[in-house]
Amino acid sequence: MFIIQRLRVVLGLDTKKVPAVLPQATHMCNGFQANQTLFPNPPVPLATVELQIQDLATAEQATKTGTKGTVPVRNAKLAVLVTTLESMRMYVQSLCDANPEQAALIAAAAGMSIAKAPGFAKPVLGAKLGVQSGTVNLSANATLLVGRGVRKKVTFNWEVSADGGKTWTGVPSTPLSRTTVTGLTPLVTYAFRVCVTVSTTVGEWSQPVLLLVR
């Protein structure tokens, strides 16, 4: 049985790159709007967040003119937005703590990320973007899932979800601990999970791994 550890929610913002902050903040705001049943009581009204994003975008554009004083104004707008997003992050963290089994999915629905846990050489399931758009390469930790020295037939079962884990679609099982999922929609965050069948015994599904497909 897998041990469910506390997952730490992070914003994943690089505040030194305002042009990158703006789309990420918009992505978070859209996540809250699209999943209001998950986030019924955000600490800051979404209309306020949208206004702060627009204010920062306007202030950032003003810095392109080189006019004196535009950079400090932009930085002040950035600080306001980051403070708001941190409040939203703490709200999402509280929801994740209350529902640890769904923490990764909740964070992804909010457009946020999960910090990598230190001290683990290889996770149960890894997901990386494939070379072609809309593809993801999955790799399972066979040692953790199966153990060592197992001589019975082992099959790796894979599933993918495009709606935050509400529904799952099976991917063809494989005899190896890796597979490639194709035909995914770019700019959609997918959840992936794996379990193993040893002989005729089906194991538990792993915790979902989230990845934004390119």
Whole-structure pTM value:
0.58
Region 167-187: mean pLDDT is 95
For position 199, which CATH number holds? 2.60.40.10
Domain residues for 169?
A: 125-212
Could you say which of 58, 84, 114 is where a domain stops? Answer: 114
Are 66 and 151 within one domain? Answer: no
| Domain-embedded: residue 135 | yes
61-82 confidence digits (pLDDT tens): 999 999 999 999 999 999 999 9
Tally of domains within the chain: 2
75-127 confidence digits (pLDDT tens): 999 999 999 999 999 999 999 888 887 888 899 999 998 886 555 457 889 99
78-84 long-range CB contacts below 8 Å, 24 or more apart? 78/15, 78/18, 78/21, 80/52, 80/55, 80/56, 81/21, 81/25, 81/49, 81/52, 81/53, 81/55, 81/56, 82/11, 82/13, 82/15, 82/21, 84/44, 84/48, 84/49, 84/52
Are 98 and 181 within one domain? Answer: no
Could you say which of 79, 114, 149 is where a domain stops? Answer: 114
Query: Is residue 178 scored above 90 in pLDDT?
Result: yes
Are 41 and 97 within one domain? Answer: yes
